[in-house]
Chain A
């Protein structure tokens, strides 16, 4: 009975995922598409829970649905203000379809009617075919689980996911951290700090609620970071929660946002990557190889890296939300 119910639940979840994804892609209204994207992220997190992957579920809910949703919304708001400004200049002139603003107008106006389904159909057939083939030839192997279990005692932590992410496959995690940093450098190279177009909510309600929620978010973030060594959790999830608290603070008082001093901010942003790389190079010099740790030191080193990574991820996410590099920084 309960098995049947679970199957029904899974089927409803699957249909919901596909339906929301389709509506999100097919929507010509960007705001609706963003909201549907957030909905999709939450449903996806639920799917990861059903697949018994709570680590990924946490990351998907916090980063995929929460932070990415906030980034998309603020991008949309900026695009809107740009479009409104440009339209004010030439009110009656129809937009030049090949002009410099074509992309902006394309984002704002409904797209031209579709002429042919051939490219989409070809793409769907190729990707679908590849996926079916991949599933068809699934090997019977149990994967890398026994190998990981065998080496848990030298990993320095008790949670296999953290052992893989921060020890056995530390290289991947290092590159992920580097990508987050590079994304911020890309955003900074495009523009200087300017005020958020998001309108601050008047009244005491939002700041009052944040006084309640931000301490809770900090405690939760630190707990998730700490839990990573023996249970689902870790630097990315903790960083996303702390980053979300930062974004809420930015939204509550965008007018008098104190700018972080430049050098400590940069140190904080780079701390994760820098420390990870430094420890990795030391590992290369003293024996265990690049990004390897001596087993006796694995636990403290992993904790140090995770703390630095959490700080960097949280700061980077807030900085990405603000988007521009700090003012008065053009030396």
Chain B
């Protein structure tokens, strides 16, 4: 019961971070602040969701897998954000086809 309540609270908190990150991605004026909103919020948001799911996991193996997912997304997301920022820094804002 306590675990279930905690899970709901953690996942809801995570969703708040996802919503904030998405709002920042849509509303912020330039690439860097958008990346800032996206990566920070998504990393914490996913972390909270994963933490909530860990409380429902069947055993240590599942907990470890969930943790691994979080670490991998952190690494991949950070690198992708860095590359987008790097490209914007050297080449300027992305120029669309139109």
Interface set of A (CB-CB < 8 Å, partner B): 28-32, 108, 110, 199, 201-203, 205-206, 209, 212-213, 216
**New contact pairs (7) apart from A209-B75, A213-B72, CB-CB < 8 Å:** A28-B97, A30-B97, A31-B96, A199-B87, A199-B91, A213-B75, A216-B72
Interface set of B (CB-CB < 8 Å, partner A): 72, 75-76, 78-79, 82-83, 86-87, 90-91, 94, 96-98
Instruction: Evaluate contact between A205 and B97: CB separation under 8 angstroms.
Output: no
Candidates B76, B82, B91; contact of A213 at CB < 8 Å: B76
Bound form: Cα–Cα A203–B82 in Å: 10
Chain A residues within 8 Å of B90, by CB: 202
Q: Chain B's nearest CB lies how many Å from the CB of A232?
A: 15
Instruction: Evaluate contact between A205 and B98: CB separation under 8 angstroms.
Output: no
Q: A212-B75, A213-B72, A213-B75 are in contact. Are A201 and B83 (CB under 8 A)?
A: yes
Chain B residues within 8 Å of A108, by CB: 97
Most A CB contacts (10 A, CB to CB) among B79, B82, B90 go to: B79
Instruction: Evaluate contact between A201 and B87: CB separation under 8 angstroms.
Output: yes
Chain B residues within 8 Å of A202, by CB: 86, 90
Chain A residues within 8 Å of B79, by CB: 205-206, 209
Bound form: Cα–Cα A216–B68 in Å: 10
Candidates B72, B75, B76, B86; contact of A201 at CB < 8 Å: B86
Chain B residues within 8 Å of A216, by CB: 72
Bound form: Cα–Cα A202–B78 in Å: 15
Instruction: Evaluate contact between B98 and A28: CB separation under 8 angstroms.
Output: yes
Bound form: Cα–Cα A110–B98 in Å: 7
Instruction: Evaluate contact between B87 and A31: CB separation under 8 angstroms.
Output: no
Bound form: Cα–Cα A32–B96 in Å: 8
